[in-house]
Amino acid sequence: MRTPLVAGNWKMHKTAEEARLLVADMLGGLQAVSGVEKVLCPPFTALLPVAAMLAGTDIGLGAQNMHWEAQGAFTGEISPAMVAEFARYVILGHSERRAYFGETDEIVNRKVHAALQHNLTPIVCVGETLEEREADLTAKVIRRQVSGALEGFTAEQVSGMVLAYEPIWAIGTGKAATAEEANRVVAEVIRGTLTERFGEAAAQAVRVLYGGSVKPHNAAEFFAQPDIDGALVGGASLKADAFVAIAAAAKQA
């Protein structure tokens, strides 16, 4: 049995002060949802205040990115150790990182290795663009992203990771994939690739989230799918009521 996981990706939203207000708004509601792992991923500058508010709760904290080197002359970057001081999770390879900041599968792979070295659970994002989808390249692209990100790991290491299938055309657009279609990609392409490379047990142990316009009104459909284990939520994670409702939907599923 895979424990459902609902993670909020705040992206570049919320100052530290605004983050405190948002967490205060959702804390009680989130804590009332049992049996679901809940994770908040605020921007770096809000990690410390949010960590203080989550201490002693069952709500996890994650970063949205990090560098792969332990330290060094990398002006403007944040190291894995800096993230691990406050957080247990890190989102890696988000499509916005790939599209706007030039992250390749190789860079994502280095970051995933760095995450494990620092006891961080990576939430590794994969997904196809609209053009790739229309050219019938979804399976090929996702296979390449999954294999690339997980190069050099053992089945045991992979088993503890979290993957997120986020079709790029569904992110922030209000156009979610249908739940059946998302489940098909997760089951056949993502778990299929994992089975080929790491074996059936690892492929079944990995939690795979769906992301892309998950809202309170559609969350339950995704969570009802057998191969989808939760959600990576962007826009709706910035609204306390909406995020709590999505977490509650994961519990019911």
Binding residue for ligand PGA, selected from 58, 117, 134, 172, defined by CB under 6 A:
172
Smallest Cα–Cα separation from 30: which of 57, 67, 51? 57
**What's 190's DSSP letter?**
I
**Minimum distance between the CB of residue 47 and ligand PGA, rounded to whole angstroms?**
18
Site string for ligand PGA, 186-225 (x = CB under 6 A): -------------------------xxxx-----------
Please report where in the chains the tokens 């009332």 appear, as a residue. 32
Contact in structure between 204 and 191 (CB atoms under 8 Å):
yes
Contact between 166 and ligand PGA by CB under 6 A: the answer reads yes
User: Could you give the angle at the alpha carbon of 250 between the alpha carbons of 248 and 253, nearest 5°?
Assistant: 115
Check the CA dihedral 82-85-90-95 and report its sign. negative
Check if 13 is active-site.
no
Which C-beta is closer to ligand PGA: that of 79 or that of 225? 225
Which C-beta is closer to ligand PGA: that of 64 or that of 79? 64
Burial of 101 (0-12, 13-18, 19+ CB in 10 A): exposed
Contact between 127 and ligand PGA by CB under 6 A: the answer reads no
Q: What is the C-alpha to C-alpha distance for residues 108 and 238, in angstroms, rounded to an integer?
A: 26
Site string for ligand PGA, 38-77 (x = CB under 6 A): ----------------------------------------
Read off the tokens for 171.
């992110």
Check if 166 is active-site.
yes
- Catalytic choice (94, 96, 113, 132): 94
Contact between 232 and ligand PGA by CB under 6 A: the answer reads yes
User: Which residues would be at the binding site for ligand PGA (CB under 6 A)?
Assistant: 9, 166, 171-172, 211-214, 232-236
